Amino acid sequence: MWVIPAVDLKGGRAVRLREGRPEAETQYGDPVEAALRWQAEGARLLHLVDLDRALGLGDNREALLRVAEALQIPFQVGGGVRSLAALREVLSFGAVRAVVGTVAVKDRALLAAMLGEVGPERLAVALDARGLEVVVSGWQEATPLSALDLLREWAEMGVRTVIYTDVRRDGTLEGLDLEAVARVRGAWPHELIAGGGIAGPEDLRGLARLGVEGALVGKALYEGRVRLRDFLQGVS
């Protein structure tokens, strides 16, 4: 199973939000330094998110480009990718794939166009939810849609990678809700990456038991609760 450190960017800095709330922000300095640290500690893939773009507060293009130029490992980029132009721009930074969330929930025609242009290998879909209650627009807008119904629809459209984040637990270090992850796993037959509250190797072992292919890890690394190598050993 892949262990994927997350580098969220806001105002040009690496940050972590608690439960997706912009006002509950902890800063962790230069995103380039953070990205290079996780690369040096053995990460094979990084997950970069432009929070300002996701929230409609501007963008972090300059900082993302600096991170991209510094890295020697693959990375994926999400946050506010809501047009074909934004998709092309993210991939032009050198990302191995873009991550879309709001588009996949609200505009299936645009999602289909994105899949048609770049293929499922270069496009992942973010399922952001409070448990199984789907949220969009930088996690600020709730929807009445069923997460499990969406997963079935995305699979029929040709999506092959889903990134599930439990917003209730993200940035809390409270551990995963493995029951919710299990329901997502049961509804999704393709590559699944999961995160939201991961606190230690036991969470990773739980994901591995469910057959999840990747784990997004954030605050536990930044707070020094555990080293990346400890996470990697936890699923070896």
Residues designated as active site: 8, 128
Query: What would the DSSP string read from start to end of 191-227?
Result: EEEEESS--SHHHHHHHHHHT-SEEEE-HHHHTTSS-
Distance CA 226, CA 218 (A): 11
Retrieve residue 210's tokens. 């469910």
**Is 14 in a helix, a strand, or coil?**
strand
The beta strands (E) that lie in the chain are given as 2-10, 13-18, 21-27, 46-50, 75-78, 97-100, 123-130, 133-136, 141-146, 161-166, 191-195, 214-217
Asked if 141 and 106 touch (Cβ cutoff 8 Å), the reply is: no
Contact between residue 129 and residue 135 where contact means Cβ atoms under 8 Å apart:
yes
Query: What distance lies between CA 8 and its chain's CA centroid?
Result: 9
Q: Is 162 helix (H, G, I), strand (E, B) or coil?
A: strand
Token output for 137: 């627009």
Q: Is 202 exposed, middle or buried (0-12, 13-18, 19+ CB in 10 A)?
A: exposed
